[in-house]
Amino acid sequence: MTDYLHTTLSENEVFGMSMLALAHVGDAVFDLLVRASESARGVATAKNLHRNTVSRVSANAQAGAVDKILPHLTEREADVFRRGKNAKVHKIPKGASHETYHKATALECLFGYLYLTGDYTRLNEIFDIIIK
């Protein structure tokens, strides 16, 4: 049985993926971290959990988080971020500018990269910077 939850790929395998594939994974990882963080805070009702999560995973919130983490990125992480920001996105959702959506996509790429390379410690460090 394959352990998909702890799938670890090499740097070459991850860099062989499209940036949108990394963003796809990173979106889910970021969402899961936000949900876990909200639940750990003791927000009791499902309505409050959902409302708080949605506000923190929006493109606008993710773009805001970028400003907090950029000074803390390693050279390799900054490279992943840059590549993600330049990814060709075909549809920008209403309520997000091109710049905002590209920043959010880049953040998701970074989270996908860290998750798929198995760098969970660094993933948590960066998420910790975002939520503080």
SS (H, E, C) 52-75: HHHHHHCHHHHHHHHHHHHHHCCH
pLDDT for the residue 92: 79
The pTM for the full model equals 0.92
Residue 27 falls in the annotated catalytic set: yes
Integer Cα distance of 76 and 11 in angstroms: 10
Residue 68 CA, chain-centre distance (Å), reads 13
Given the residues 3, 27, 67, 119, select the one marked as catalytic.
27
Residues 6+ apart with CB under 8 A from 129: 68, 69, 72
Average pLDDT across the chain, whole number: 91
| Residue 40 · residue 101 · CB < 8 Å | no
CA-based nearest residue to 114, from 128, 125, 103, 129: 125
pLDDT for the residue 77: 97
pLDDT for the residue 43: 64
pLDDT for the residue 17: 94
Residues 6+ apart with CB under 8 A from 21: 112
Give the pLDDT confidence of 17-49 residue by residue, as tens digits: 999 999 999 999 999 999 999 888 876 788 888
Integer Cα distance of 62 and 101 in angstroms: 9
Q: With a cut of 70, list the residues of the chain below it in pLDDT.
A: 43
Q: How many helices (DSSP H) and strands (DSSP E) are in the chain?
A: 7, 0
Question: Which CATH code of 3.40.190.10, 1.10.1520.10, 1.10.287.130, 3.90.800.10 fits the domain covering 18-131?
Answer: 1.10.1520.10
Integer Cα distance of 59 and 39 in angstroms: 21
